[in-house]
Amino acid sequence: MLTHCSVEKVNQELTVNMNGQRRIIKIGSSSLTSPEGGLNKKQLAFYAAELASLHRQGHEVLLVTSGAVAAGFKVIGYESRPKLLHEKQAAAAVGQALLMQAYQEALASEGIRCAQLLLTRPDFTTRGRGRNAMMTIEELLRQGVIPIINENDTVSTDELKFGDNDMLSALVANLVGAGQLIIITDTDGLYTADPRYDPNARKIERVEEITGELMSHAGGAGTSVGTGGMRSKIEAARIAMRGGVPAFIGRVLEPGELQLAADGRGKGTYFDSQKNHLPVKKQWLGFHSTPSGRVAVDEGAKNALINGGKSLLPAGVTEISGEFHPGDVVEVTDGGGKLIGRGIVNYAAWQLRAAAGLSSEEVRRRIEVNRIEVIHRDEWITLA
């Protein structure tokens, strides 16, 4: 199967689907701050002008920006980017205000208003909160305001974190049904190896599907202020693609380059959206929900779920961990503990412990359950 184009094939094949006018732009710390800490205001003003230009072209523009920790740590008195959670939170609390002030001033000089949205993971994993965030964003866009989004670092503990803002940008892109996700970074796209270390690394212009081989090309962060590196950007692109949103990862350094990135002519790598993208319910299940437990299944059930498009029946269940109730999301693994997917479970954990390994007939005789399927195929997503 074709995974990514050869470097020779390049641009003429860029038939990226970018009909939607709604663009999510993600800017990383390394593009906005200096390694010693503090905002690079000139650079930030440049991006603001690029956003303004895109906005004037009639696009609905949403910005996901990092930089709060990097902007704030020096002001607090830390010598380098802090590692401890409470220090990062303190730095972000200082830096976020500086970051917003800088965007607000820069965009105002372009005649554009902006708004701050600070989100945490539960804003996506709890359906009502996700809807509220979406309604707010919709109203801001209707009023011509650019929403500026960052993680709410002050209240995010490690378990609640998105991981990094690359992931946040993909979740936002799916939430608002964006036409394109543009991840701006300090390198002009994805290479076959980290170009900092491998002079023979070749650029990949276009990706149709993200495979394990492609993931293996990607390394960690390039600078002391960046966090996720190329790997987290590809993960973000994967989530956007599965949600039907095409993505771009690359560099925007000269005036007009953001528009070029939006037009399919940017300096970076383009990721196609998948034709059979997931319906919203399955996106939520796969990428936004928080599993309450784990269910291991045997090989027959694994095959039925992944290849047969079938529901999971009690007979295929071998192990249960965690406490869950009907309607909760559980992770499903194979016998070796490898994740194969997630689904909405119809049993409480205690019921499933009693039903595991039994035929459906036997289960009906012994336990009162609303549905015999442990997970119905319509409430299942394969993640293997």
Ligand X SMILES: N[C@@H](CCC(=O)OP(=O)(O)O)C(=O)O
Residue 222's binding partner, choosing from ligand ADP, ligand X, none, with beta-carbon cut-off 5 to 8 A by kind?
ligand ADP
Question: Which tokens belong to 170?
Answer: 């993909």
Pick the closer one to ligand ADP by CB: 225 or 340: 225
Pick the closer one to ligand ADP by CB: 187 or 333: 187
Cβ 369 to ligand X, closest distance in Å?
43
Binds ligand X by CB under 6 A, chosen from 40, 120, 150, 269: 150
Contact 305, 383 (CB under 8 A): no
Residue 311's binding partner, choosing from ligand X, ligand ADP, none, with beta-carbon cut-off 5 to 8 A by kind?
none
Pick the closer one to ligand X by CB: 149 or 374: 149
Residue 66 sits in the site that holds ligand X (CB under 6 A) = yes
Residue 193's binding partner, choosing from ligand ADP, ligand X, none, with beta-carbon cut-off 5 to 8 A by kind?
ligand ADP
Residue 68's binding partner, choosing from ligand X, ligand ADP, none, with beta-carbon cut-off 5 to 8 A by kind?
ligand X
First to last CA, the chain: 17
Closest listed residue to residue 292, CA positions, set 347, 242, 210 = 347
List contacts with ligand ADP (CB under 6 A).
Answer: 28-31, 185-187, 190-191, 193-196, 217-219, 221-223, 226-230
Binds ligand X by CB under 6 A, chosen from 226, 266, 291, 343: 226
Long-range contacts of 305-311 (CB under 8 A, 24+ apart): 305/332, 305/340, 305/341, 305/375, 305/377, 305/380, 305/382, 306/340, 306/341, 306/382, 306/384, 309/377, 310/377, 311/373, 311/374, 311/375, 311/376, 311/377, 311/380
Binds ligand X by CB under 6 A, chosen from 228, 243, 246, 293: 228
Place of tokens 């220090």: 87
Helices within the chain (DSSP H only): 29-32, 41-56, 68-76, 85-108, 122-125, 127-142, 165-175, 212-217, 229-242, 257-263, 280-283, 299-306, 349-355, 360-366
Binds ligand X by CB under 6 A, chosen from 39, 44, 50, 67: 67
Contact 113, 103 (CB under 8 A): no
Binds ligand X by CB under 6 A, chosen from 165, 180, 311, 351: 165
Longest dimension (CA), the chain: 72
Bind-site residues for substrate: 66, 153, 165
Write out the residues near ligand X by the rule CB under 6 A. 28-30, 66-70, 92, 150-151, 153, 164-165, 226-228
Bind-site residues: 26, 66, 153, 165, 185-186, 227-233
Bind-site residues for ATP: 26, 185-186, 227-233
